[in-house]
A and B are shown apart, each in its own frame.
Chain A
Amino acid sequence: MMGLPSCREVTLRLSTEYALAGSRRRAWAIRLHLWMCRSCRRYESYLAWMGRNLSVAVAAAAPRLSSVQRERIREALRGAMR
């Protein structure tokens, strides 16, 4: 794909698109690369899937402080702050 950004550059841009705004021409070149490259389209889908689903799915199973642990911490803090 002569003249178009490489897969390496496209994946980096996909991960940093909100931080590194590029020129309109560059953005167009990346869209064209994605249109032509199935692997990078899959990577883009993976990023989108992660963004949509991962935090919600992980939150349900994520470890949390138990009420006993919270109370222990509260008591220790009160003791130290006296």
Chain B
Amino acid sequence: MDESRQLRLQPDQWLDEHGDVLYRYALARAGRADVAQDLVQETLLAAWQGRDRFQGKASERSWLLGICRHKALDHLRRAGRDVMRDNAAGAVDDAETAYFTDKGAWRQPPAAWSTDPLSEAEAEAFLQALQQCLSALPEAQRDGFSLHSLEGLEPAQVSSALNISVNHFYVLLHRARLALRRCLQQRWFGREGAS
């Protein structure tokens, strides 16, 4: 690791640059602000203690998110909660039969969105519906979608943070997008199957 890289590896700086992303990730996993704060703290401390293992191959953010993910999983196990997994890329066939017929046609064609859900009058309620739909996703799909589509991480960064291949990440992203589309259509637009 070169000297300039070493100098950047400081928890204070990590907290400034990545604290909010880590906090949102931890909050989505743990569901409580106090626990999420503890998880961010544990993550930064573990990263500092293991800083020699950071090779610079992944970005700092995906490295920290990977540590945070392990901390969150440990917390959930300690709390006796099931740690759901959604790792089987091959299961995509089963997941997609909910949306497509055997011949690959839509079971319930997407309806047109006649209003702008992010208009000033609608945005707050729409974002609440989105949060509910995100919460209903399997954890791996939610993580992949949130880190990429909401936090802006590149596919390689997300796959590194979640310890999965890039192709697997795209499968999770695809499944999350299908599920969100249907959920938003039902919860927000209420016109499933309408043309």
Q: Are A15 and B173 in contact (CB under 8 A)?
A: yes
Secondary structure of the B side of the interface?
helix
**A43, B182: Cα distance in complex, Å:** 11
Please determine whether A19 and B166 come into contact, CB atoms closer than 8 angstroms.
yes
Binding site for A on B (CB under 8 A): 11-12, 15, 19-20, 23-24, 27, 33, 37, 40-41, 44-45, 48, 96, 99-100, 103-106, 109-113, 118, 123-124, 127, 130, 149-152, 155, 166-167, 170, 173-174, 177-178, 181, 195
> Of A38, A57, A77, which contacts B45 at CB under 8 A?
A77
Q: Complex: how many Å from CA A80 to CA B49? A: 10
CB distance from B169 to the nearest CB of A (A): 9
**Measured between alpha carbons, how far is A64 from B103 in the docked complex, in Å?**
45
Contact partners of A65 in chain B: CB under 8 A: 15, 19-20, 23, 37, 40
Bound complex: CA A20 to CA B15 (Å): 35
Complex: how many Å from CA A5 to CA B105?
Answer: 10
Give chain B residues whose Cβ lies under 8 Å from the Cβ of A64: 20, 23-24
Min Cβ gap A78→B in Å is 9
Q: Which of the residues B12, B103, B110, B167 comes within 8 Å of A6, measured between beta carbons?
A: B103
New A-B pairs, 18, CB < 8 Å, besides A18-B155, A39-B109, A58-B127: A5-B104, A6-B103, A9-B104, A12-B174, A19-B170, A20-B170, A40-B106, A42-B111, A43-B110, A46-B110, A51-B149, A57-B127, A62-B150, A63-B24, A64-B20, A64-B23, A77-B12, A81-B45
B105: contacting residue among A7, A50, A61, CB under 8 A: A7
Docked-complex contact A8 and B96, CB < 8 angstroms: yes
Specify which chain B residues have a CB less than 8 angstroms from the CB of A23 in the assembled complex. none
Distance A1 CA – B44 CA, assembled complex (angstroms): 54
Q: How far is the CB of A44 from chain B (nearest CB, A)?
A: 10
Report the contact-size class of chain A (Cβ under 8 Å from the partner). Answer: 35 or more
Which of A43, A62, A70 is close to B15, meaning CB atoms less than 8 Å apart?
A70
In the assembled complex, the Cα of A55 lies from the Cα of B130 at a distance in Å of: 12
Determine the chain A residues whose CB is within 8 A of the CB of B155 once the complex forms.
18-19
* Interfacial chain B residues near A55, Cβ < 8 Å: 149-152
Known A-B contacts A54-B150, A64-B23; A77 and B11 likewise in contact (beta carbons under 8 Å): yes
Q: Roughly how many angstroms separate A9 CA and B174 CA in the complex, as a whole number?
A: 11
Query: Is there contact, CB below 8 Å, between A6 and B105?
Result: yes
Complex Cα distance A6/B40, Å? 44
